[in-house]
Amino acid sequence: MTEADRLAQLAEQEERLQFTKFDNETALALGQQLLTAARERGLPVTISIRRNGQRLFHAALPGTSADNDAWIDRKSRVVDRYGHSSFLIGTQFRAKGGSFEEHSRLDLDLYAAHGGVFPVLVRGVGPVGTVGVSGLPQADDHAFVVEQLELFLNS
């Protein structure tokens, strides 16, 4: 898959995976779904769901560490800043022939454009928060979040 193809796929995911509303109860239900799926698969991930900067759900499974919390924080800042998934932003920089690390001009101790954090998008409103995981390779982190959002939004 080319970077252009991947960008189109990532943009399509954001268009499709939108909520009609997102409140604390929605965040808790989504978080429980992510946690259950991760446990069933034995995935060593940390899960975080935020709305407007407030952490509404957080869980860290065996095999994770404080480093995973830091990765989620860094990836979430990218989503908050750009309004798109952390994977899409990293892919955009690569598609332009560079990297986020080289060309974003942001503090890399605070920002990471690696896959795993997806914007919480409310249709007609836009981004209001983030849902993310850390602990797997970046494409797998992203794929897990997208898969779980698809299941949640289609249930």
- Set out the domains of the chain in order of their start, with CATH numbers: 3-153 (3.30.450.150)
Alpha-carbon distance 85 to 14, whole Å?
A: 8
**First vs last C-alpha separation in the chain:** 30
What average pLDDT does range 25-30 have in this prediction? 98
Produce one character per residue of 114-131: b if its CB has 16 or more CB atoms within 10 Å, e if not: bbbbbbbbbeeeebebbb
Tokens encoding 47? 């899960």
Residues in Cβ contact with 149 at an 8 Å cutoff, skipping those fewer than 6 apart: 17, 30, 118, 131
Decide if pLDDT at 4 tops 90.
no
Decide if pLDDT at 2 tops 90.
no
Decide if pLDDT at 39 tops 90.
yes
Alpha-carbon distance 112 to 109, whole Å?
A: 8
Give the mean pLDDT of the chain. Answer: 96
Decide if pLDDT at 46 tops 90.
yes
The pLDDT of residue 1 is 78
Q: Report the amino acid identity of residue 120.
A: V
Alpha-carbon distance 155 to 76, whole Å?
A: 26
Q: How buried is 43 (Cβ within 10 angstroms: 0-12 exposed, 13-18 middle, 19+ buried)?
A: buried
What average pLDDT does range 90-97 have in this prediction? 93
Residue 86 contacts residue 115 (beta carbons within 8 Å): yes
The pLDDT of residue 3 is 84
